[in-house]
A and B are shown apart, each in its own frame.
Chain A
């Protein structure tokens, strides 16, 4: 689609990762994904930098980014533009994310309002990356409310992966991952379901003929390798199998236990038994989820066809 290419894909990807990482640590802190104390900090650390790097890439992508950068200030001007909403949301999120990370780094309790504001802005950031595309009526492949839902799920998934992967290296000592595998299994499954609904909708014809052509580029056209190999196999089905296997194993140990303490001991035994091999597998899996997330944004951008291609029929 014209000048919207790689940089925009990476920008949408990093925006999603940053927001998803914030929410991963937020969820860990609030105990929403079990006792995942290993993840309580890392996500906060990477949230603002990831989004900021993405925003910086956008600056390079702008025709005037390096020529008249002061014009960027004008991007706060049009409140009817989704891109302007994004500028507000991202600016606020980067600020809040930085302050939150500072509190976490200093090991002091951040004001609850700040932490919650960050969570709301994170959801806004994730939604924005999808809405930016879904409001474009001139590109039928994008013009569906599924787009923001898909981008939110993928952002949560890639953010959680980035957080787990980095926590693995940053957090020394005992790894406490709580229900990360179950959560991730849910996210990857949701993404598969939403993608299936999306393509079902397209091939039913309800998004018009150009959307069908776009989808065909993914299914057996120029983007088929990126779609089937990188996104579907590496980014979704592979991780689904591994997370499902791990979640099943963990559930087995939890159900055997009569008390939480015993459950913990069993889980420790299980972790000790599977050892570094399983951890390596999870790390590779997290990497694959992120590669898949980038592929998702790339194929959605690159497959887009305009509703009219300036030829007469």
Chain B
């Protein structure tokens, strides 16, 4: 209900402010609009129900990309679209010379954020944050292909496919999970670097962080990803 009320007040503020004070006065209502936007209507769901998340252990990851491949095989990504990416970076001042340890990796998909930008910007409401587990699912049959989610997601999770003219993204294998199965990426990881579970539990793992290696601030969307950084150098 507060959603409806706040929208009305936003509009009222916008209109009143605009008429009275003209162009310059609009700076003020705009502030209110942006702030109201921050309090996402879906944010409340995340606190009520469980929030599932990924845990990624940079020290364990061997960069085999099986998580990526398993996802690609399962969901047959269209050309130019990647639901999960394994990012790679060479460590410069590494004291360890074995080739396998000279890189750091980061396997990333959609982070099923607590305050997902995609959910709030999508004009057609193709995105839903599930109340029961906090998974952000997207319905490609609703997508008009406007690309707003593509620019709004700090993690580049929604991916636009030129072929289909629609956006798609990681669903956390919501359908498989509903049948009691694991996400395919997690199941494919040979070294258990990528795991998943209740975010509150995952956060209790010692040494986890939400931001490493230049990732965007977790304050933007509150991602459901915990990372155990590599003890390097």
On A, residues with C-beta under 8 Å from B are: 1-4, 61-65, 67-68, 71-72, 74-75, 77-84, 87, 119-120, 123-124, 126-127, 130-131, 134-139, 145-146, 148-149, 152-153, 156, 190, 304, 306-308, 310-313
Contacts and interface: CB of A to CB of B under 8 A. Distances in A.
Contact of A137 (B87, B104, B106, B154): B154
B214 A127 contact: no
A72 B143 CA distance: 9
Given A71-B142, A149-B30, A87 B216 contact: no
Question: Residue among B34, B167, B221 with the most chain A CB within 10 A?
Answer: B34
Interface of B: 3-4, 7, 14-15, 18-19, 23-24, 26-27, 30-31, 33-34, 37, 40-41, 85, 87-89, 104, 106, 117, 119-125, 142-148, 150-156, 160, 164-167, 213-217, 220-221
By Cβ-Cβ distance, the 9 closest A-B pairs, closest first, are A63-B145, A63-B165, A313-B214, A123-B18, A74-B124, A312-B89, A312-B213, A83-B123, A78-B125
Contacts, number: 172
Given A131-B30, A134-B34, 11 more contacts: A2-B150, A3-B147, A62-B144, A78-B120, A80-B119, A83-B148, A131-B33, A149-B30, A306-B154, A307-B220, A308-B215
A138 B213 contact: no
Nearest to A147: B30
Contact of B34 (A80, A81, A145, A149): A145
Contacts of A4: 147, 151
A65 to B, nearest CB: 7
A13 B119 CA distance: 27
B30 A64 contact: no
**Chain B binding surface SS class:** mixed
B15 A124 contact: yes
A67 to B, nearest CB: 6
A1 B154 CA distance: 12
10 contacts: A63-B145, A64-B145, A65-B144, A65-B145, A83-B148, A87-B123, A135-B33, A137-B152, A306-B156, A312-B89
A67 B165 contact: yes
Contact of B151 (A2, A87, A126): A2
B119 to A, nearest CB: 8
A80 B143 contact: no
Contact of A83 (B3, B4, B34, B146): B146
B106 A312 contact: yes
Contacts of B89: 311-313
Contacts of A190: 23-24
A81 B148 contact: yes
A63 B154 contact: no
Given A74-B124, A81-B148, A310-B85, A127 B165 contact: no
Contact of A135 (B37, B87, B119, B124): B37
Given A148-B30, A149-B24, A137 B220 contact: yes
Question: Residue among B26, B122, B142 with the most chain A CB within 10 A?
Answer: B26
B220 A80 contact: no
A75 B144 contact: yes
B160 A3 contact: yes
A37 to B, nearest CB: 22
Contacts of B164: 63
B201 to A, nearest CB: 26
B213 to A, nearest CB: 4
A63 B166 contact: yes
B27 A145 contact: yes
B96 to A, nearest CB: 18
Given A63-B143, A64-B143, A145-B31, A120 B213 contact: no
A264 B85 CA distance: 71
A74 B120 contact: no
A311 B123 contact: no
A311 B214 contact: yes
A81 B150 contact: no
Given A2-B160, A62-B145, A138-B216, A79 B121 contact: no
Nearest to A87: B123
